[in-house]
Structure 1
Amino acid sequence: MVLGLAFAVAAMVLNCVAGLLQSDATTRTTRRRPLALQPRFILGLFVDGLAWVCTVVALRFLPVFAVQAILGGSIALTALAVRWIWGTRLSVLDRVAIGGCVVGLVLIAGAAGVDRPEGAGTAADVVLGISLGVLAAVTIVLYNSRLAWLLALVAGLGFGGTSLAVRSVHIGPDGLDVVALLAQPATYMLVGFWFVGIVTFARALSRGDLSVVTAVFTVTEVVVPGLVAIGLLGDRVRDGWIAPFVVGLVLAAAGVVALAGSSTQRKGQWQR
């Protein structure tokens, strides 16, 4: 369990760094050098990859909602980094909402059971496959949308889906078997969810404030797949922690709603 916590914290820090790099890259795009060719965006993808590896390791030891909640600490890290590096100013409402998100995610993480998570069944593959198809269609529809919070929400669902797909992959007692890995639907769904997440996250960053986008993205990435994992993958809430878990969900969700309608979000631009 300690090893899982260590890798989850490492993934949180790396996610924050990747978000900062990718967000800065969106401000440097030109017709001759689009976002996909920006060095900082490419570096951000590399850091994202490192974060993903850390997340995969953490998911082998902890429930989905516990790992995702720890990753939620990137909300606070990002808000502090944005203010320190670029001098971005958030409204009082934004600060309270981000604080509510952080407190909510801490409660969710604390509610995680200590049992090692079990593997997934065929039903999980079916549900994830349908979900991926729906998200892919929504991504196409919203690609040109100017609503950063909505794009961030879809991105959160996409990256959250990667965590569920990781848990759905079966690894035998003899360790990693590449042939067996490539034969599993969850392996390809993992790639699909990641692609949806990275496309919509990049679009959200180009249209909204990094702190707000990160908060909406992170809470969505934590809450939705965490609840799905409880019902679909057998993750457990610690005995006596149902009430704190519910309070955490309410606080995190309320923070996202407040951020989605904030003045910073409506302006949809950096305040440097």
Structure 2
Amino acid sequence: MLIGLLLALVAMVLNSVGALLQADGSRRATRTRPVAVQPRFLAGILVDLVAWLCAAVALRQLPVFAVQAVIGGSIALTAVAGARMNERPLGRNPRIAVIACLAGLVLVAASAGTDRPPVQSETVNVVLIATLLVLAVVVLVLRQFPRAWPLALAAGMGFGGSSLAVRAAHVEVGNGFSVMALLGQPTTYLVIGFWVVGMIGYSAALSRGDVGSVTAVFVVTEVVLPGIIGIVLLGDPVRDGWVWPFVLGLAIAVAGVVVLARTPPPRRPRVK
């Protein structure tokens, strides 16, 4: 359990670094040098991939909502660093909203139980496949509009779906590990599919909005919805007597996200 928490903390820091690199790369994009060839944007994707690998290992030891809630600490890191990059300090309401998000996510993480019940893969696979298909269509549609927060919301669901697929996968560690067995189960491809959809949505959101607000909406969505689904679908446990703190934490975090989503992004010059 301790190793899982440490890996989740590493993923938290790397997620923040990746978001800042991708946001900076998005701002430097031009018609002649699109975002797909910007070195900082590509470096951000690489950092995000390493962060995801750390989170994937943590998910084999801890419930989905616990790992995602620890990673949610990237909200504060990204918001503060992003404000400095934009040379514009956070306003009073966004600061309060960030604190609310963190406080709520701490309650969610503290509510995690330690048991890990077996996963019923057939039902889980059907639900995840249907969700991935719908989410892919939603992201493609949302990319036609200028608003950032709906894309951040969809991206959070994408990365959250990837976490659920990791949690649902049947992987033998040690001498029983088999590459063919790993490649032979649908959850392996669901992990990749959700990650790709989430990355596309997140990159599009960063090109449209403030990195701090986008990351907050993205991270809390990544915690709340998959966390609830993990409890219902995968049987992730909540500690005895902690149901109400868990619900309260979700409510506080969502309230903070609503405030951040309604905050207009700062105007900033595009780097040429």
Q: Which amino acid aligns with 1:245?
A: F
Higher mean displacement: 205-214 or 80-89: 80-89
Q: Is the 8 A contact 2:67 2:109 kept in 1?
A: yes
User: 2:145 is paired with a residue of what secondary structure?
Assistant: coil
Alignment of 1:1-272 (within 5 A): 1-116=1-116, 118-172=118-172, 174-264=175-265, 269-270=267-268
CA distance in 2, matches of 1:260, 1:145: 16
Q: Is the 8 A contact 2:116 2:237 kept in 1?
A: no
Unaligned runs of 5+ in 2: none
Identity of aligned residues (%): 55
Q: Which amino acid aligns with 1:210?
A: V
Relative to the length of structure 1, the TM-score reads 0.95
TM-aligned CA deviation for residue 85 of structure 1: 3.8
Q: Is the 8 A contact 2:26 2:206 kept in 1?
A: yes
CA distance in 1, matches of 2:258, 2:160: 19
User: 1:263 is paired with a residue of what secondary structure?
Assistant: coil
Q: Which amino acid aligns with 1:65?
A: F
Q: Is the 8 A contact 1:168 1:186 kept in 2?
A: yes
User: 1:17 is paired with a residue of what secondary structure?
Assistant: helix
Q: Which amino acid aligns with 2:236?
A: D
TM-aligned CA deviation for residue 120 of structure 1: 4.4
CA distance in 1, matches of 2:268, 2:186: 40
TM-aligned CA deviation for residue 25 of structure 1: 0.1
Q: Cα deviation per residue 1:105-143 (whole Å; 9 max; x = unaligned)? A: 000000000224644421110100000011011011111
Q: Which amino acid aligns with 1:34?
A: P
User: 2:16 is paired with a residue of what secondary structure?
Assistant: helix
CA distance in 2, matches of 1:206, 1:192: 22
Unaligned runs of 5+ in 1: none
C-alpha distance 149-231 of structure 1, shift in aligned 2 (>3 A): same
User: 2:88 is paired with a residue of what secondary structure?
Assistant: coil
Q: Cα deviation per residue 1:34-85 (whole Å; 9 max; x = unaligned)? A: 1111101111111111101100110011000000000100001111212344
Q: Is the 8 A contact 1:88 1:270 kept in 2?
A: no
